[in-house]
Structure 1
């Protein structure tokens, strides 16, 4: 069943229940109000007749009251205190007689009279009674009657109006629900079609944001997912192309020089040279595969971070002493600034990979006679490690991607600088595995600054 039909049915059922309850309540109150209006009218008419009789109750007045009753939809019966009929504008039948025989005590009868018969459904008449006096003494009663057929006719007309109104409301609501369900489900259907495309590998979907509500947020989330999947697809293709390129080059060297080295008439000195090239290229392939396996472990969380309490300045000083000869050999000054006893929990082996990778980049891309500085500061329980060089720098357009896998600023893939574009990707994941964050700032020709922030 389509969602538009489901929504329409749910809305219809809910609105129908609401309409039934509200219309039942409204009908009951309208009927009750209408019947009480008739009873109040009867009582008011009886009070009016009482006032006339208390002023003058001669035969002329009585005939006038009778005449009014004959030409009205309300009938009047006047009796004395003994129950004898003085005046009637209607033929007294058994129903009227039963009402007249209801015992009435004048002392308990209110001045404005009371209702003695209000059952309009099963009785022939509704009725009120009002007492009137003569010369300060009780003299009789004024009974007012109205045929319930008239009341039932009014209620029947009211019922017809209620039914017509209910049908009009229901029809209007159904039309409203139809367009509302279409308006609500249209973006959902669009999203469904978009997810179908995504499931088939087509990530080039564009979804408009219908509104600033949950549907808009869902549309925006699907669009973000599509963009991310499209980016991942492109990244995967570039990753496979890069891996293919990185493997093809050394394997080509290995195969080519292996064929040459197999020649029987080859000079021994040349053979050794070719075998050395084969060894270097095989080491290059081995190094690439090692980094790929390392990255795969990070992705699958199969590697372990074994943290221990480390005096960070002593720890980084030992790494500084290890890499210092390589920097001196290239004529680069390496400066370390870490003077405090800062203790922090980290994995010494894993974090050493981070530092060696970053310092190796500084070594590769810095010119002779330049300076590379490593500084550590600690404030409010936050450790900040900064590694800054005066190298070639990174273009602005490349900065957002330098932590991507196999991304290299050097598009020529120079074998002189080495590297596969995996080092910084590994660095970023290892830093995040320690609960930290790494950022980079750079200007072409000015150098690059990596900043790692760790919580103590």
Structure 2
């Protein structure tokens, strides 16, 4: 991750430095042009002011006064007649003026004046010219000169300022990029450490994730994965422990009673009794293995559901006819109410397995003389099946867990009192494979209702 941090920081730095360089160069060129143009404008404005004074008072005193004013300034002035002959001039400017004035095309100089020498980089002076017009005729010209050293000094200072600001900007950019790369990579480092723990089987990963950006979403996904894996590990351990317990007990019975039945001096009646117990335990193991096989197929997504349009009332009538004798034997009533015939898309064999399991549980945990009922209710898009009994009920603390594998409400009940602990888990998987849902409501000591919701068929 340090390499990633360095690469990200370097990438950001190069990109930002490139942007800053382009912006700084553009700003520098713009400022230089603006400052140089400002110097030209100020020089031309000064020449136009002198020209305006001379147009009002064109006499020797005024001419000398203009020259005297420029002798105390950083600029110089040259005044010529209409032919370009020099009349008045500031000190030291005459040699350069004689080079510029003959080459200036005075006929094309507008009354507002113009720049006649703008090469501030290579020449020692810049110059402007303003024509003096009186009574519609050109009386002469005012030439203004300014040393380019002042402009070059200004540009040098500007370069210095830009260089200092540039160095500070690069330094701040480096700090910012380092900070940003760390901000980005620190969560990635924590996620890498978390995934390394997950790969080693340590699922106790806790990532502190803030925000809603992509990194935060990745962190939440890893945290969810860790939580799910931790839950699956716990569930797997419990599952294996439950299987071990469920198989160990019947195997102990089988081995123990088989050893007794093998004794040569045992009575045939007693041997038959032990063999009967061995057979019952073998049946129990067979049912357990069958249920485990069903769950394994569901987990591997090889569990096939073949839906077909089914009349729900006719389907429930067949279930009723199959289960009625068992209820009658225990002196219990089984009723079903399905007034409105509706069609549902179900796998009849699989859904019969669900109904038989639920009714078998109701039969086991209800008192003699009580009633178990099957009710059908219809909604706009769903069909609701309610299997209700008047049995012992389920404690509130156990109710959320009854559809978990191997979960038993009565942990100490005898083996003859219940099945494998997988029936409701299988029923839940089958119902959800049909696109439905299943849940239970119960009041301890008064009874339980299992509610199945299925999509209504077209």
Residue 224 (structure 1) shift? 2.4
Question: Which segment drifts farther, 369-378 or 205-214?
Answer: 205-214
Residue 140 (structure 1) shift? 1.7
Count of matched residue positions in the alignment of Structure 1 and Structure 2: 454
Residue 228 (structure 1) shift? 1.7
**Whole-angstrom CA distance in 2 between matches of 1:373 and 1:82:** 126
| Counterpart contact for 1:313–1:341, Cα < 8 Å | yes
Matching residue of 1:149? 149
Change (3 A) 1:276 1:161: same
Matching residue of 1:167? 167
| Counterpart contact for 1:187–1:210, Cα < 8 Å | no
Residue 303 (structure 1) shift? 2.3
**Whole-angstrom CA distance in 2 between matches of 1:7 and 1:447:** 64
Change (3 A) 1:309 1:61: same
Change (3 A) 1:302 1:235: same
Matching residue of 1:454? 454
Change (3 A) 1:87 1:365: farther
> What pairs with 1:272-283 in structure 2 (closer than 5 Å)?
272-283=272-283
Residue 413 (structure 1) shift? 4.9
Matching residue of 1:417? 417
Aligned pair partner of 1:104 in 103, 106, 115: 106
Residue 333 (structure 1) shift? 2.1
**Whole-angstrom CA distance in 2 between matches of 1:119 and 1:364:** 110
Question: Which segment drifts farther, 252-261 or 10-19?
Answer: 10-19
Change (3 A) 1:246 1:378: same
Residue 175 (structure 1) shift? 1.9
Matching residue of 2:43? 42
Change (3 A) 1:175 1:336: same
- Secondary structure at the counterpart of residue 449 of structure 2: strand
**Whole-angstrom CA distance in 2 between matches of 1:301 and 1:80:** 107
| Counterpart contact for 2:337–2:376, Cα < 8 Å | yes
Residue 213 (structure 1) shift? 4.1
**Whole-angstrom CA distance in 1 between matches of 2:67 and 2:97:** 20
Deviations 1:384-437 (A, max 9, x none): 112122222222222222222112222125312221221111111111111112
Residue 95 (structure 1) shift? 7.9
Change (3 A) 1:130 1:313: same
Change (3 A) 1:2 1:447: farther
**Whole-angstrom CA distance in 1 between matches of 2:58 and 2:7:** 74
- Secondary structure at the counterpart of residue 415 of structure 2: coil
Question: Which segment drifts farther, 398-407 or 150-159?
Answer: 398-407
Change (3 A) 1:126 1:321: farther
**Whole-angstrom CA distance in 1 between matches of 2:3 and 2:438:** 49
Gap regions ≥5 residues in structure 2: none
Deviations 1:6-55 (A, max 9, x none): 33223212221221122112111111111111111111111111112112
**Whole-angstrom CA distance in 2 between matches of 1:420 and 1:81:** 123
Matching of residue 221 in structure 1 with residue 221 in structure 2: yes
Question: Which segment drifts farther, 428-437 or 238-247?
Answer: 428-437
**Whole-angstrom CA distance in 1 between matches of 2:444 and 2:66:** 114
Matching residue of 2:93? 91
Matching residue of 1:356? 356
Matching of residue 380 in structure 1 with residue 355 in structure 2: no
Change (3 A) 1:413 1:34: farther
- Secondary structure at the counterpart of residue 106 of structure 2: coil
Residue 252 (structure 1) shift? 0.8
Matching residue of 2:5? 4
Matching residue of 2:177? 177
| Counterpart contact for 2:100–2:117, Cα < 8 Å | no
**Whole-angstrom CA distance in 2 between matches of 1:392 and 1:121:** 105
Q: Could you tell me the TM-score, scaled by structure 2's length?
A: 0.93
Change (3 A) 1:104 1:358: farther
**Whole-angstrom CA distance in 1 between matches of 2:97 and 2:273:** 133
Deviations 1:253-280 (A, max 9, x none): 1111111111111111111111111111
**Whole-angstrom CA distance in 1 between matches of 2:11 and 2:322:** 73
Matching residue of 2:23? 22
**Whole-angstrom CA distance in 2 between matches of 1:7 and 1:28:** 32
| Counterpart contact for 1:99–1:117, Cα < 8 Å | no
Question: Which segment drifts farther, 195-204 or 114-123?
Answer: 114-123
Q: Could you tell me the TM-score, scaled by structure 1's length?
A: 0.93
| Counterpart contact for 1:392–1:447, Cα < 8 Å | yes
**Whole-angstrom CA distance in 2 between matches of 1:112 and 1:367:** 117
Matching residue of 2:77? 76
> What pairs with 1:298-377 in structure 2 (closer than 5 Å)?
298-377=298-377
| Counterpart contact for 2:13–2:174, Cα < 8 Å | yes
Question: Which segment drifts farther, 221-230 or 272-281?
Answer: 221-230
- Secondary structure at the counterpart of residue 176 of structure 1: helix
| Counterpart contact for 1:309–1:346, Cα < 8 Å | yes
